Structure 1
């Protein structure tokens, strides 16, 4: 069985495209080396994301669960359904991180869940402090705070220079979702 001697904390943030893509690329690489990966997606209530089907092909080494309410979340006035779904996802994340069964845990869009006030940032920081030494945790999402940036061992900021949306091209199946 594979395993990490030292698990770190990675953070992919910024306004550019590629945060989730980078994290899921890491999952593919890790599975290729025999690591066990668990992915929890926050704020993903829709079932039409390509990664839901694609990641299932990496089973059983890679497990994937997604949580989220229907519709958009509005900063400052989140609906109770969105808060409850984020809380369920976070409880699941705590369980998975501390289970001892997984080498890498990806918490996709957790940074957004904090920014939209669906989660308390200190709870996430406490999870990072309490993780087992061998577990790598990957956080993704825009608007990472200075506290999250300081806590991470690796921080990558995706910077948007150009995006097809700026030219009126809407999100494309298999590319953006």
Structure 2
């Protein structure tokens, strides 16, 4: 058998295989008819939790949806994402409510007060009928330290969040209760990080 005939047979088998795969895929997709606002959690020790969430924010923005970002930890937040988002003031609401990680502030009561203020702002934006996508960046951090009661967050997301609003929550150590009620949960796994080799945060990569 010549190489051309061999390639032709392989191509034919591949085409038949993909045809069957497409038919099976189309059958599965036909059963997916629900439209709803999702609760999404990005957690884990690996990089990319907020980055992936901002990717979703940009995607939503690209469709002309109004979005909001509530930053629970970083107060003096000056990142590449922020600089891009600020170019669309008619579509984007940004609120940086924290004053840094708790080991930086070293003031537990101030951290609790900031977390409460951020959550109140978060609820307001989630309930805004004009806003389709809300990113609660690093909410998992304040929940980890019990600066906010997890029961309150769960109750709001389950009973008060509008049906068509997407809410994305980021940060390490997501609470089990939050994972349980979320529609989509992704855990970022750390395999290798330049910080361990003495490399500081790089513009355009970390911020």
Distance 2:48 2:147 in 1: 23
Map 1:16-165 onto structure 2 (within 5 A).
16-69=46-99, 71-74=100-103, 78-129=107-158, 130-165=160-195
Q: Displacement, 1:117?
A: 2.2
- Partners of 1:27 and 1:62 within 8 A in 2: no
* Cα shift readout 1:117-168 (whole Å, capped 9, x = no counterpart): 2211111111211201111111111001211111110111100110001111
RCO higher in 1 or 2 (8 Å CA, sep ≥ 6)? Answer: 1
Map 1:4-19 onto structure 2 (within 5 A).
5-19=35-49
Q: Superposition RMSD on alpha carbons, in Å?
A: 1.7
* Worse-superposed segment, 152-161 or 52-61: 52-61
Q: Structure 1 residues 33 and 48, CA, compared in 2 at 3 Å: closer, same or farther?
A: closer
**Count of residue pairs brought into register by the alignment:** 171
More helix as a share of residues: 2
TM-score, length basis structure 2: 0.77
Gapped regions of structure 2 (runs ≥ 5): 1-34
Q: Structure 1 residues 6 and 72, CA, compared in 2 at 3 Å: closer, same or farther?
A: closer
* Cα shift readout 1:66-105 (whole Å, capped 9, x = no counterpart): 1112x5404xx75222111111110011111112121111
